[in-house]
Amino acid sequence: RKEVEQDPGPFNVPEGATVAFNCTYSNSASQSFFWYRQDCRKEPKLLMSVYSSGNEDGRFTAQLNRASQYISLLIRDSKLSDSATYLCVVNGGSQGNLIFGKGTKLSVKP
């Protein structure tokens, strides 16, 4: 089983749509969870950290289910500028590394 698995995508949605990304992780000892977005040929940029109680930042909502080892990201009212690859990220333990999923590509169309 891969350490972090995401929906392979791509997701093609119209502007204004709601889209959800799902992610599972294998290490039950993981303590920190993040969503990054990455534009084509650019670096990953931190979108949001994911907290146990779930958290929201504008149109973006992240949820964490530790029992199921599952993380989700919901984007409401999609904009053209949301088109990017979304990376689910989990901390790898004491070594300090982050473990990335392969990413899910989102294309928002007019």
Min separation Cβ 13 and another protein, Å = 21
Residue among 3, 17, 32, 1 at smallest CA distance from 106 = 17
- Torsion sign, CA atoms 56, 62, 63, 64: negative
Residue 25: CB minimum distance to another protein, A: 12
What b/e sequence results for 56-82 when a residue is b if at least 16 CB atoms lie within 10 Å of its CB, and e otherwise? Answer: eeeebbbbbeeeebebbbebeebeeeb
Site for another protein in 20-49 (CB under 8 A): 31-32, 34, 41-46, 49
Rule CB under 8 A: say whether 12 interacts with another protein: no
Q: Tell me which stretch binds another protein (CB under 8 A): 15-23, 59-67, 71-79, 97-105.
A: 97-105
Residue ranges that bind another protein, judged by CB under 8 A? 4, 31-32, 34, 41-46, 49, 87, 91-103
